[in-house]
Structure 1
Amino acid sequence: MTQPLRQPAFRLLFLGRTVSAVGDAVVPAALALAVLRATGSTSALALVLGAAMVPRLLLLPLGGVAADRFDARRVAILADLTRVVTQLVVGLELLGGDPSLTSITVVSAVGGVAAAFALPTGSPLVAGTVEPAGRQRANALLGTTANASRLAGPALAGALIWAAGPGWAFVLDAGSFAISAALLAVIRVRPVPRTERRSLAADLLHGWREVRARTWFWSSLLGHGVWNGAAAVLTTLGPAVAVNRLGGEGVWLLMLQAGAVGMLAGSLLAGRFRPRRPVLLANLGLASYAAPLILLAVAAPAPAVVAAYGIALAALGYLNPVWETVVQGQFPPHVLARVTSYDWLVSLGAMPVGYALAPLAARVWGEPAPLAAAGALVLVACAGTALVPGVRRLAWPAPATPEPTREPLAAR
């Protein structure tokens, strides 16, 4: 595999994404603490988080259409500049000493809109700055920095909040988005041939047809959605099981740390290991998430649960760069952002379902039942993709387009 960092355009993209990842890593802890300090209410925090999540989910397909129509780089710059403003407004609200929950909620919703347009641009930008032979390593590098930022983020956030207050965490994040936008402005991205102008509905439908035409993609996407829903179940019920049955809060914190280390290790492995059947192997790895779920359900010894969680998150860290590389190679450039938006929509959309159902099921049947059920679903959904011929046959590096799109595309 080639060295993508030797390519100037990707170096700038990598630097911008790294700075942005570090800025984003400090925000979750700062936001939670700031809202709780201001209101003392977990419901207020849920309102702010929901305000950011709902527009992100609803507008993701539109973000994909925009990135395919108007150039992913320009859309990414506009999204970054929007988030400069939103994060700066929240930071100034907090630094002013009398933050308004309404203002923070509205600004969070605007930030969610920007995120909906930013997320689909990631894959087209990598594909437009890195040659195919170097994309797996490029995606692994981006995954490594993102996971390293998540690992260091809580400690950095704690130090910043202790030294200066949560408002400065948002100012830092605003600065990181400004740097990212400035670097994107000077990056040269390979132009994508434009298709004939269509209606919004036609563009959305065309992207969906590209998804449906590839059985390896949509069957894997269903498995990934189930995985994310199960992750929400574990996140919701896992702390209570760890505290009440496995030994206390330290066990849960150790699990989270093991997961962060596992994701970092998996992304590092993705830059070096190139299997012949990438999607098959990555999906089978995801099935390992059943282990920590079932071990939590039966209250297995804490070391076993922690180890299983670390291994399962290493599989996720490995899958993400490999999956992105495969998608970048298998779909035409002019639909890549729309396909990516549907990918994100399924992944993010499954998590609120898990958050909502887990506590309801736990109240009726107890915590072990939904944890065990989620584990069984992950095992069946992810390992079951091995039964799909397209998943088993998809190999590096040959493209696999089992059913080419039936719509003629005319260049503008």
Structure 2
Amino acid sequence: MAYPPLRERSFRLLFLGQSLSLVGDAVVPAALALAVLRATGSTSALALVLGCVMVPRLLLLPLGGVVADRFNARTVALTTDLVRCAAQLCVGVQLLGGSPRLWQIAVAEAIGGAGSAFAMPSLPRLITGSVPDSQRQAANSALGVVKSATGLGGPALAGALILTVGPGWAFVLDAVSFAASAALTAAMRVVHVPVPRGSLRVDLVEGWQEVRNRDWYWTSLLAHATWNGAAAVLMTLGPALAVQRLGGEHTWVAILQAGAVGLLLGSLLAGRARLTHPVLVANLGLATYALPLALFAAGAPAAAVITAYGVALAGLGFLNPVWETTVQAVIPPDVLARVTSYDWLLSLAAMPLGYVVAPLAASAWGPQAPLWAASIAVGLACAGTAAAPGVRRFTVAAAAPARETEGQGAAGSMAGTTRT
């Protein structure tokens, strides 16, 4: 086998379940955007629904990290799969019924977003509980490859569903994928390492201290948050601009498809990279997201926007495995889920702001203004991390001794991470 961890039965089940759920998830972004636009014709309505996904996720992520550390990750993952299955099925039924109500879609997506707040921190614990230490890097690599591959095919599948049978079937497909993932997760055997339980406040503080004590970490997370805020602006305004000015719905699907190709290529490149300063290089790659934002704002031709978006998502694809590998090498493993939850929380915190501000600013000054502002902000924030000594000087080799010391002194804590 290409990946030795796949010889482990439990990891094979996890790999297959994640693959199926990732296929389902990959069709949803385009389907959700175009379904809401078809139903309402309003970017504000789309911003509302996207915000309903994001806000519960952000509010519950720290709690999700504590739960994933305290309880068996298999139970947490199984429960969240079933919750998200029900939420996506509800949206699919609404759309297939022909008279979707915005509030019902928003509530269902909010429930799904809440479920993801517990699912995201539980994944690293599933990996560490199903494969031995020596195979963990290969396990993460296998999951990264399938994530990029499903992202590559997802927009094309979404486009086929949307343009033929309608976006409702995309949500039904996602619901079925979560149900299949739940069944496979139920068949897993996951080693659960119990940890000393303190109060909820103590658990939250311990996880936060692991982030706060590393300047390269929180400086990078500020840049990642800016990137996600800019992405929210583009996801809110981009579909309507693509439909109205760049040729129609198929153009938006093509933009997302180019992004998926870039994400895969960036992930493959990261697998071959041997970097002395991984955090700095990865953050500079994120700065390329300024380009598609600027081209959208400038009214550039569709081909230029599509190409630029592919390049920008290659930067994201490169950052994801580089960041994950770096953090896993430095952060004490006994605080895995909590640091993961704070990583996600800080990285994604600006997205609701982008969803809210983008349509308001577009109504007041036109869509070009928020797109230009987002382009400048993401370029300065991501490239600007080079000015931070902690980022500029960081190397894994230099940080490794600190990891050993902290790991010995943090007996009974927990941590880890993942990305934008």
Query: TM-score, structure 1 length as denominator?
Result: 0.83
Query: TM-score, structure 2 length as denominator?
Result: 0.82
Counterpart code for 2:221: L
Cα pair 1:2 1:133 within 8 Å, conserved? no
Instruction: Look up the SS of the partner of 2:396 in the other structure.
Output: coil
What per-residue deviation string (whole Å, max 9, x for no partner) do you get for residues 228-269 of structure 1?
A: 112223334556776788x64476554433222111211222
Between the aligned partners of 1:149 and 1:348, the Cα distance in structure 2 is: 22
Cα pair 1:57 1:345 within 8 Å, conserved? yes
Residue number in structure 1 paired with 2:378: 378
The change in CA–CA distance for 1:278 and 1:269 in structure 2 (over 3 A counts) is same
Cα pair 2:54 2:352 within 8 Å, conserved? no
Residue number in structure 1 paired with 2:258: 258
Instruction: Look up the SS of the partner of 2:273 in the other structure.
Output: coil
Tell me how far 1:118 sits from its aligned partner.
Answer: 0.8
Residue number in structure 2 paired with 1:287: 287
Residue number in structure 2 paired with 1:114: 115
Between the aligned partners of 1:22 and 1:262, the Cα distance in structure 2 is: 17
Tell me how far 1:101 sits from its aligned partner.
Answer: 5.3
Residue number in structure 2 paired with 1:146: 147
Tell me how far 1:209 sits from its aligned partner.
Answer: 0.8
Residue number in structure 2 paired with 1:199: 199
What per-residue deviation string (whole Å, max 9, x for no partner) do you get for residues 123-161 of structure 1?
A: 332344345565454334323322332332243235446
Between the aligned partners of 1:117 and 1:104, the Cα distance in structure 2 is: 21
Between the aligned partners of 1:3 and 1:33, the Cα distance in structure 2 is: 41
Counterpart code for 2:332: P
Between the aligned partners of 2:362 and 2:34, the Cα distance in structure 1 is: 27
What per-residue deviation string (whole Å, max 9, x for no partner) do you get for residues 313-353 of structure 1?
A: 10101111222222233223332111111121123221122
Cα pair 1:56 1:112 within 8 Å, conserved? yes
1:354 aligns to 2:354 (yes or no): yes
Aligned counterparts, 1:244-323, within 5 A: 248-249=247-248, 254-299=254-299, 303-323=303-323
Between the aligned partners of 1:251 and 1:96, the Cα distance in structure 2 is: 27
Tell me how far 1:218 sits from its aligned partner.
Answer: 1.0
Between the aligned partners of 1:237 and 1:160, the Cα distance in structure 2 is: 22
Cα pair 2:333 2:407 within 8 Å, conserved? no
**Which region of structure 1 is more displaced relative to structure 2, 58-67 or 382-391?**
382-391
Between the aligned partners of 1:33 and 1:293, the Cα distance in structure 2 is: 20
Counterpart code for 1:177: F
Residue number in structure 1 paired with 2:341: 341
Counterpart code for 1:24: D
Which residues of structure 2 form unaligned runs of 5+?
Answer: 414-420
The change in CA–CA distance for 1:372 and 1:214 in structure 2 (over 3 A counts) is same
Cα pair 2:334 2:411 within 8 Å, conserved? no
Between the aligned partners of 2:37 and 2:300, the Cα distance in structure 1 is: 34
Between the aligned partners of 2:42 and 2:371, the Cα distance in structure 1 is: 28
Counterpart code for 2:140: N
Cα pair 1:132 1:329 within 8 Å, conserved? no
Residue number in structure 1 paired with 2:19: 18
Between the aligned partners of 1:10 and 1:396, the Cα distance in structure 2 is: 30
Residue number in structure 2 paired with 1:52: 53
Between the aligned partners of 2:174 and 2:13, the Cα distance in structure 1 is: 18
Cα pair 2:43 2:359 within 8 Å, conserved? no
Instruction: Look up the SS of the partner of 1:191 in the other structure.
Output: coil
Residue number in structure 2 paired with 1:74: 75
Residue number in structure 2 paired with 1:223: 223
Between the aligned partners of 2:45 and 2:360, the Cα distance in structure 1 is: 21
Between the aligned partners of 2:343 and 2:336, the Cα distance in structure 1 is: 11
Cα pair 2:44 2:359 within 8 Å, conserved? no
Instruction: Look up the SS of the partner of 1:107 in the other structure.
Output: helix
Cα pair 1:136 1:321 within 8 Å, conserved? no
**Which region of structure 1 is more displaced relative to structure 2, 94-103 or 56-65?**
94-103
